[in-house]
Amino acid sequence: MRLEDLLKEVKSIGISGHMNPDGDCVGSTLGVYNYIKTYHPDMDAHIYLEPIPNIFKFMSHSEDIEDADPLSQTVFDLFICCDCRDSGRLGDAKVYFKNARHTLCIDHHLGGGTFADDEYIFPEASSTCELVTEILDMEKITKQIAECLYTGMVHDTGVFQYTCTSSHTMNVAGMLMDKGIAYSEIIDNTFYRKTFGQNKILGRALLNASLHFDGRIILSYISSDDMKEFDVLPKHLDGIVSQLRVTKGVDVAVFMYQKGKSEFKVSLRAVNDVNLAEVAAKFGGGGHAKAAGFTVYEKPEASVPKILKEINLALERLDS
């Protein structure tokens, strides 16, 4: 598939991605939008996303991102859905998908049936940005487009570390590097950089961590009072569970934070092949085998023993 082939006769285009947009979602949608702005400046192009994290605002044209109007009557000639493959995950932007004359979905998530008129879906791909790069002509990828796409690849691969990273991923990223982007700064500024408060609360989480079941499970917890003390929001707690996970000897890391008076978010990360999606499903959540999550509605004193027990059962299944 070439994106360019789908743009013939298209006069108006809408682009969107999933709710609560992450680096891959922002990078892929802005990558496509920058391509349209560069090579089809007369097209009526719109990009709709929920508010994006500040770290991604360096990307070209991020200021053009609009809030979706759930009651919109707009009918786009083409609507492109990036990094999600069901209209529910589009949030308010699903109205543009529904109304559009033609739809394209570019995604790398598992599951679901046919969704859009045209689909470029490869679950084995590292990221939607990797897929967007494939359907553009490499010589037409500008430095601005490359910055968007490279950032998304960095975020969905954990800086080219997760098992979704293939040699093809590295080749695609390498071609984007050749566009003259400041790849080292992109990784530092969008992936590793933390505020002082974020580092302090990471310290609190590490100090509070405890080991269970012969050191195979590590668990830590951050309360709303902790978050108030360090002036951080739940979205600033990303990365804590990954730091817990790299503790020597640990098979599973559990990180909990308080969301409401008796509402607690739980993130699980695995080192080996234990299936954490199954564990999360027991608590009404979901995710991937190595990274899953759920919400509990009771105090940690009550929930933690149940969570540890389920993880231990999953580890025992793995051992047997």
* Binding region for Mn ion (CB under 5 A): 24, 83, 128, 156
280-312 exposure pattern, b = at least 16 Cβ within 10 A, e = fewer: beebebebbebbbbbebeeebeebbeebbebbb
Q: How far is the CB of 76 from Mn ion (least distance, A)?
A: 23
Give the residue with the Cβ less far from Mn ion, 83 or 310. 83
41, 64 Cβ separation under 8 angstroms? no
Non-local CB neighbours of 263 within 8 Å, separated by 6+ positions: 295, 296, 297
* Kind and range of the H or E run holding 82: strand 78-82
Residues in the chain: 320
45, 15 Cβ separation under 8 angstroms? yes
Q: What angle do CA 45, 46, 48 make, to 5 degrees?
A: 160
Q: How far is the CB of 209 from Mn ion (least distance, A)?
A: 29
Q: Which residue's CB atom is positioned nearest to Mn ion?
A: 24
The closest of 100, 106, 115, 25 to 65, measured between CA atoms, is 25
Give the side-chain half-sphere CA count within 13 A for 44: 8
Q: How far is the CB of 254 from Mn ion (least distance, A)?
A: 24
| Total Cβ atoms within 10 A of residue 193 | 11
Give the residue with the Cβ less far from Mn ion, 47 or 209. 47
Q: How far is the CB of 169 from Mn ion (least distance, A)?
A: 12
Give the residue with the Cβ less far from Mn ion, 260 or 286. 286
77, 9 Cβ separation under 8 angstroms? yes
Residue located via tokens 């299944």: 317
Give the residue with the Cβ less far from Mn ion, 106 or 314. 106
The strand order across the sheet containing 12-17 reads 44-48, 12-17, 78-82, 103-107, 118-121
Strand, coil or helix: 115:
coil
Give the residue with the Cβ less far from Mn ion, 24 or 226. 24
Give the residue with the Cβ less far from Mn ion, 18 or 37. 18
Q: How far is the CB of 189 from Mn ion (least distance, A)?
A: 20
Q: How far is the CB of 281 from Mn ion (least distance, A)?
A: 21
Q: How far is the CB of 43 from Mn ion (least distance, A)?
A: 25
- The pair phi, psi for residue 301, each rounded to 5°, is -55, -35
Give the residue with the Cβ less far from Mn ion, 83 or 226. 83
Give the residue with the Cβ less far from Mn ion, 73 or 163. 163
Q: How far is the CB of 258 from Mn ion (least distance, A)?
A: 28
